[in-house]
Amino acid sequence: MERTPAAVALVYEGEGLSYRELNARANALAHRLRELGVKPDQLVGLRVERGIEMVVAILAILKSGGAYLPLDPVYPQERMAFMLEDARVGVVLTQKALVGDLEGLAVTPVLLDEPLAGADTNLPTLATADNLAYVIYTSGSTGKPKGAQITHYNVTRLMEATEGWYRFNGEDVWTLFHSYAFDFSVWELWGALFYGGRVVVVPYWVSRSPQEFRELLIREGVTVLNQTPSAFRQLVQADLAQPPAPYALRTVIFGGDE
């Protein structure tokens, strides 16, 4: 962020934030989380729709020293309540349209779409490489869902181990196509931000329309695409039905379907 503060870090439906703006907004929210007592290895729930606020919130939780627990809005109430209790979450970042989902639960909601006053300066770093970065729960199809605990070291090691293969850089444009409750999203988000690139958050309805997604790839000049084989097959079919397009893609990375 300090190397390229004016570069565009994040785009969603025509709205964008520079690295400087993203950092300031995340800092302001991180200060609020610190005031609420968030500290290393403490999980903060995140129940939010896709968009700029989603990325700001993830970055803010990490800056505060805590770790995030993704609670996709599509999750049933029962699953969300189980995860919050099982992970002993006390604070949940959410939005006005979703805060009603938390009624009756022993959590403190913080609304991301309300003005946030306070400092937007960088905070002293509390978390270390061995502290939690996030916890993603399994589907629970064979029993109760279980949380997979991922540390900061796990994430940075992934990038370092693959750096020589893909040579990601500040000119790359990535899509954040997957749900933030699916671990592929971690690769998409940090693959862009670690290297000073740009991440384009894909609206949910666009992620479900191969034709619309194809148009987004062309319009935004996406260079790095992460897909499951099944989603990519649908994209290929949509592309074959149209005239040849001027893609900027240089790398397509596949991850396994669940």
Condensed to tens digits (0 to 9), the pLDDT of residues 136-168 reads 998 877 778 899 999 999 999 999 999 889 999
Which residues of the chain, if any, have pLDDT below 50?
none
Write the CA distances from 117 to 35, 48, 88, integer angstroms: 13, 20, 28
Report H helices in the chain: 19-35, 52-64, 77-86, 152-166, 184-193, 204-207, 210-220, 229-240
Contact 75, 36 (CB under 8 A): no
Q: Cα 162 to the chain's mean position, in Å?
A: 20
Instruction: Write down the pLDDT at residue 119.
Output: 87
- Tens-place pLDDT, residues 94-122: 999 999 999 999 999 999 998 887 789 99
Contact 18, 181 (CB under 8 A): no
Which tokens is 108 given?
């403190």
Instruction: Write down the pLDDT at residue 256.
Output: 66
Instruction: Write down the pLDDT at residue 1.
Output: 66
Instruction: Write down the pLDDT at residue 69.
Output: 98
Write the CA distances from 124 to 2, 30, 34, 190, 224, integer angstroms: 16, 11, 11, 21, 33
Of the candidates 49, 4, 59, the one whose C-alpha atom is nearest the C-alpha of residue 28 is 59
Instruction: Write down the pLDDT at residue 255.
Output: 83
pTM of the model: 0.95
Q: Cα 102 to the chain's mean position, in Å?
A: 21
Residue 23 dihedral angles phi and psi, to the nearest 5°: -65, -45
SS3 135: strand
